[in-house]
Amino acid sequence: MIPTLYLTRNGLLEPLGQSQVIAYLRGLARDYRITLITYEKDEDWADTARIAAARAECEQLGIRWLPQRFLPRPKVLAPALSMLRMIWLTRREVRRQGVQMIHARSYIPAAVALVVGRMTNVPFIFDMRALWPEELITAGRLRRGSLLHRAIVSAERTCLKRAAGVVSLTHAAAKYLKTIYPAELDSQRIAIIPTCADLDRFTPAASTPENSVIGCLGTVLSGWFRMDWLVSFLTTVAENNPEIQFELTTRDDADQVRKALGRQLADQVAISSSPSDQVQDVLRRQTASVMFYAGGETSELGRSPTRMAEILGCGLPVVANDGVGDVAEIIREHRVGVLATGSSKQEMNNAWRELQGLLLDPDLAQRCRATAERLFSLDAGTEAYRKLYADILRKAA
């Protein structure tokens, strides 16, 4: 089998590591000898049982897993130090394992793969995931035009040009990139692979839940989640139907989430985390799920929410907003949710009424599931990666 290296700053034990890294590698490992480098957070390192289980699975799959410790601080220095160590590790593995291709998930790994690729002539995939510099600006963590911003954009441009292949999560992002980097992407191979879900695991509930539950899954304190919209929608729903329950499933600090929700909602919303392998059980007891992002911002063109694939896989509709990757187009075309047009009470009332009407549709759950199978199947995503791997290696041979 051909030796390849998969490089990511996410942790294998994180929800994204489970849903968007190992989920694909389970299939790819049948054809490639994979070395996997991840960066695990302290709370995950502390879970020795899950670490052991992850090691055992990787060994069973034939994946050589080299977990590193994620350093969150100091904020600017930590990523730089992490990048230097990543370069050293990547170069070492390329030499020791005879790596013939590097799969770099997101920007810092791609910059590392670019540097090592120039040293060793090993091709790399720039798996963008999203428009990272624009996400940082939206979240208020980066100032447009600053020295750091210019450095990241320069790296983005170079990685797009030098990569053997580029993966974008959305058609909207690919279209945007082609307008700002026409020369760099003129003959570049771009694969559109949205965030997929294991639809063998994310399946509809066997029976209709006894209670009506509005859920929200994932981080809400990221800076690019519209917490004010979530508060407005949940407040509106509570006023219209006091019997409805609310669940917020997140790894965010619960006290900070309650503070962001405000006094009126803090005691009405159940806030808890869930192990990644139990998220489907949380979704199955819900009626619909809410996700509001900073739609309309350039950053959101590249967003393909993992939670959307998982929610639809469980047969639930989504309540979302426009301007987020391909989300609105999917909702409109397949009728699998509701789009809120604004955060005002009237607009949220409209969204709530529309959702009530949609929930009366007896075909809704089946339609949500069918849409997930068509667009977010893990098998289809894995096959798209397998084809990209083969094309790149064939060209490099």
Compute the average pLDDT of residues 122-151.
92
* pLDDT tens per residue across span 309-339: 999 999 999 999 999 999 999 999 999 999 9
CATH fold of 213-375: Rossmann fold (3.40.50)
Compute the average pLDDT of residues 86-97.
96
Instruction: Write down the pLDDT at residue 79.
Output: 78
Compute the average pLDDT of residues 122-150.
92
pLDDT at residue 26 greater than cutoff 90: yes
With b meaning 16 or more CB within 10 Å and e meaning fewer, what string describes 58-94?
Answer: beebebbbebeebeeeeeeeebeebbebbbebbbebb
Instruction: Write down the pLDDT at residue 314.
Output: 97
Tallying the residues shown for the chain, one arrives at 397
Q: How confident is the model at residue 64 (pLDDT cuts 50, 70, 90)?
A: very high
User: 64 by DSSP, 3-state: which?
Assistant: strand
How far, in Å, are 19, 89, 93, 367 from residue 4 at the CA level? 20, 14, 10, 38
Q: How confident is the model at residue 77 (pLDDT cuts 50, 70, 90)?
A: confident
φ and ψ at residue 312, rounded to 5 degrees: -65, -35
Instruction: Write down the pLDDT at residue 255.
Output: 94
Closest by Cα among 276, 354, 287, 351 to 314: 287
State the span(s) of the chain assigned CATH 3.40.50.2000.
2-196+377-396, 213-375
Compute the average pLDDT of residues 181-199.
94
- Share the mean pLDDT of the chain: 94
User: 368 by DSSP, 3-state: which?
Assistant: helix
Instruction: Write down the pLDDT at residue 297.
Output: 81
How far, in Å, are 35, 57, 65, 84, 268 from residue 60 at the CA level? 13, 5, 11, 30, 44
User: Pairing relation of β-strands 165-168 and 64-69?
Assistant: unpaired
pLDDT at residue 167 greater than cutoff 90: yes
Please give the single-letter amino acid code of residue 383: E
pLDDT > 70 fraction of the chain, expressed in percent and rounded: 100
pLDDT > 90 fraction of the chain, expressed in percent and rounded: 84
Instruction: Write down the pLDDT at residue 72.
Output: 79
Compute the average pLDDT of residues 196-204.
92
Q: What is the CATH number of domain 2-196+377-396?
A: 3.40.50.2000
* pLDDT tens per residue across span 4-13: 999 999 999 9
Nearest 5 degrees, angle CA 345-CA 349-CA 353? 175
Compute the average pLDDT of residues 110-137.
94
Instruction: Write down the pLDDT at residue 71.
Output: 84
Instruction: Write down the pLDDT at residue 359.
Output: 96
Q: How far apart are CA 199 and CA 372, in angstroms?
A: 8
pLDDT at residue 75 greater than cutoff 80: no
Instruction: Write down the pLDDT at residue 150.
Output: 96
Compute the average pLDDT of residues 185-210.
92
Compute the average pLDDT of residues 239-259.
95
* pLDDT tens per residue across span 277-317: 899 999 999 999 999 998 778 888 999 998 999 999 999 99
Q: How far apart are CA 70 and CA 203, in angstroms?
A: 33
Compute the average pLDDT of residues 87-102.
97
Whether 226 contacts 340, CB under 8 Å = no
